[in-house]
Amino acid sequence: MNDTKFQIVGWLTFSIGFLLSCIYSLPKEPNKFMFITGAILCLAGLAFFRLKDFFNTDFEKEISEEEIAKQQGGDVTKEGYVFNPDTSLEHIIYFIKNIKEDADNIQIQEAIEKIQFYQITPFVENRYKLSDKLGVEKFAMMFSFFATGERHINRAWSAIVDNYKGECFNSLNIALENFVDTKEYFEKK
Within a domain: 60: no
Quickly state the pLDDT bin for 49 (edges 50, 70, 90).
low
In this structure, the answer to whether residues 163 and 84 fall within a common structural domain is: yes
Instruction: Give the whole-number percent of the chain exceeding pLDDT 90.
Output: 26
Q: Which residues contact 188 (CB under 8 A, 6 or more apart)?
A: 138
| DSSP E strand stretches across the chain | 75-76, 82-83
Within a domain: 59: no
Distance between CA atoms of residues 186 and 142, nearest Å: 6
The predicted pLDDT at position 57 comes to 47
**Domain ends where: 54, 79, 96?**
54
In this structure, the answer to whether residues 88 and 180 fall within a common structural domain is: yes
The model carries a pTM of 0.58
In this structure, the answer to whether residues 100 and 39 fall within a common structural domain is: no
101-128 confidence digits (pLDDT tens):
888 999 999 999 988 888 888 888 888 8
Range of the domain at 140: 65-188
On whether the CB atoms of residues 87 and 123 are closer than 8 A, the answer is: no
Task: Indicate the number of domains in the chain.
Answer: 2
Within a domain: 179: yes
Q: Is the pLDDT of residue 63 over 50?
A: no
Distance between CA atoms of residues 112 and 169, nearest Å: 11
Quickly state the pLDDT bin for 82 (edges 50, 70, 90).
low
Within a domain: 73: yes
